Amino acid sequence: MNLNDLLTYFIPTIVFSFLIGLEVRAYLAKFHENDDKMFFGTTRTYAFLGIVGFIFYEIEPENFSVFIAGFIAITILYTLLFKKLLESDKTSIILYLVSMIVYSFGPLVNLYPLWLASLIFVMVIFLLNAKNKLLSFNLKVNIYELETLGKIVLLSAVVLPLLPKDNNIPYLGISLYKIWFTVVVISTISYISYLVQKYIFPSKGMLLTGILGGLYSSTAVTVVLSKKSQTLQENKIFTASIIGATLMMYLRLIVIAAIFNIEVFKIILFPFLAFSILCLIIVFVYYKKAISSPNKIELADSNPLELGTAFLFSFLFIVTMMITNFVVDNFGATGLNILSLIIGFTDIDPFVLSLLAGKYNIDSFAVASAVIIAAGSNNILKAVYTIWFGKDNAKESSIILFILGILTILVGFIL
């Protein structure tokens, strides 16, 4: 190994180690200012740890014998210190863990891309600074939700890799792997939205409710907000929230298309971005006009990662794919557009995913048209829900949704 290579590895090692040492010093000053001065060193100590780890790795890089010996020696030293700390009722080993990470920077920088060591460095800095936030982050997590999440992780991480990728189901032209993968993706997006709503923004206002709810289901949140609108004195914030949910529907469909069908993504990107910008302008105008907003809107506390919901989605996905295959084979792109118009008045996610993930005797433009038409038809459904549940307070938002729906459908037919 030449000098340039050694410097390339050594400089990041010493920089990361020194900076973490500075952060440890700040951490001790901030959180342990009144404690006895009994700790595992700070700036210089951690810089030397990084240097020692680098040297010990370079001495014997094949079997790591010298490096491992150093690791054991440092652990023994910390064990002696920890025994003293226990006498003072101090049980934290965070500084030992940080020191071991610093000691490991030498081989990390040598063996792996620099981004990995950089990421570890950033995470160490972040976690040392996040102590107060983590201690105050007291979430009342439902144990049943964790159990449900565990089941989904099991099905995703264990079952999904075992499903055949190449053996397509007759008539559908898609493998079991891809069917379940679509379920995992859509469930994950919905679950992230659910967690954000429930735990990060538990006391959200109406506008934020619309935006976050739109990530999960713009139709469902439209119904909830429409019912709530009858209790409002003015409807500006309600209109902003409803259109905000539809804005997120457009963006959500863009992301889903990017994951499953890049050709369709390229086609729908600009139309959906244009409608998203239009929605954003409407949201901004009505939000500025709003006099006040309810402090908190309650949505149904329903976990979108219920196994029953996941299996129902997969069933609907297969059924809509079978129907789509039949329509495309017998009626072509025209029949598919009419089907999209009809299905838009239901839950469009299974249909859209079946279009994006399936293989049909039509080109990408026909698939993109069907996706856009379904989104427009769904906007008309939301317009009906809005005026039905919101009555007089929902007239403006219902008209805007109806216009958005018609414009979206027209774009779909023009493609």
Number of H helices, E strands in the chain: 17, 0
Structure tokens at 74: 């440092």
Burial class (CB in 10 A: 0-12, 13-18, 19+), 338: middle
Q: Tens digits of per-residue pLDDT, 39-72?
A: 566 778 888 999 999 999 999 888 889 999 999 9
Q: Tell me the domain boundaries of the chain.
A: 3-154, 163-414
- Give me the mean pLDDT over the 382-396 stretch: 85
Instruction: Give the bridge partners for 175, in sequence order.
Output: 168
> Taking residues 238-261, what's their average pLDDT?
91
Averaged pLDDT, 214-242: 78
How far, in Å, are 249, 345, 388, 404 from residue 365 at the CA level? 20, 22, 35, 21
> Buried b vs exposed e over 116-125: b needs ≥16 C-beta within 10 Å?
ebeebbeebb
Three state DSSP letters for 316-345: HHHHHHHHHHHHHHHHHHHHHHHHHHHHCC
pLDDT tens string 263-290: 999 999 999 999 999 999 999 998 888 7
pLDDT of amino acid 144: 59
Q: What is the pLDDT of residue 203?
A: 53
Contact 344, 378 (CB under 8 A): yes
Secondary element (H or E) of residue 95: helix 94-103
Per-residue pLDDT of 285-296, as tens digits, reads 988 887 555 545
Average pLDDT, the chain: 81
Q: Which one, of 415, 348, 352, 349, lies nearest residue 381 by Cα? A: 348
pLDDT of residue 31: 67
Two structure tokens written together for 409: 């459908």
Tell whether the model's pLDDT for residue 133 goes beyond 60. no
| Span of 132-146, 216-230, 255-269, 307-321 with lowest mean pLDDT | 132-146
pTM of the complete model beyond 0.75: no
> What's the pLDDT score for residue 273?
96
Residue 20: count other Cβ atoms within 10 Å of its Cβ.
Answer: 27
Q: Which residue has the higher pLDDT, 213 or 292?
A: 213
Residue range 385-395: mean pLDDT, rounded: 83
pLDDT at 39: 58
Higher-confidence position of 179 and 405: 405
Is the pLDDT confidence value at 368 over 60?
A: yes
Position with higher pLDDT, 107 vs 415: 107
Q: pLDDT band at residue 340, thresholds of 50, 70 and 90? A: very high
Q: Is the dihedral of CA 304, 306, 309, 310 positive or negative?
A: positive
The yes-or-no verdict on residue 138 having pLDDT over 60 is no
Give yes or no for a contact between 25 and 3, defined as CB atoms under 8 angstroms apart. Answer: no
SS3 353: helix
Q: Is 148 exposed, middle or buried (0-12, 13-18, 19+ CB in 10 A)?
A: buried
For tokens 């094949």, what's the residue?
62
| Per-residue pLDDT, 115 | 86
Query: What gap in Å lies between CA 266 and CA 261, rounded to an integer?
Result: 9
**CA separation (Å) from 203 to 49, 208, 217, 249, 298?**
46, 10, 19, 22, 9
Q: Most confidently modeled of 40-49, 107-116, 386-395?
A: 107-116
Question: pLDDT (tens digit, 9 = 90+) per residue, 238-249?
Answer: 888 899 999 999
Predicted local distance difference test score (pLDDT) of residue 122? 85
DSSP 157: I
Name 168's bridge partners.
175
- What per-residue confidence (pLDDT) applies to 295? 45
- Residues with Cβ within 8 Å of residue 122, at least 6 apart in sequence: none
Looking from the CA of 190 toward its CB, the CA atoms found within 13 Å total 23
- Closest by CA to 155, choosing from 301, 285, 315, 307, is 307
- The pLDDT of residue 237 is 81
**Residue, of 346 and 375, whose pLDDT is higher:** 375
Question: Distance (Å, rounded) from C-alpha 13 to C-alpha 381?
Answer: 59
- In the structure encoding, which two tokens stand for residue 45, read together? 């100590």
pLDDT of 392 strictly over 80: no
Give the range among 7-21, 102-116, 159-173, 385-399 with minimum mean pLDDT: 159-173
Per-residue pLDDT, averaged over 321-347, amounts to 90
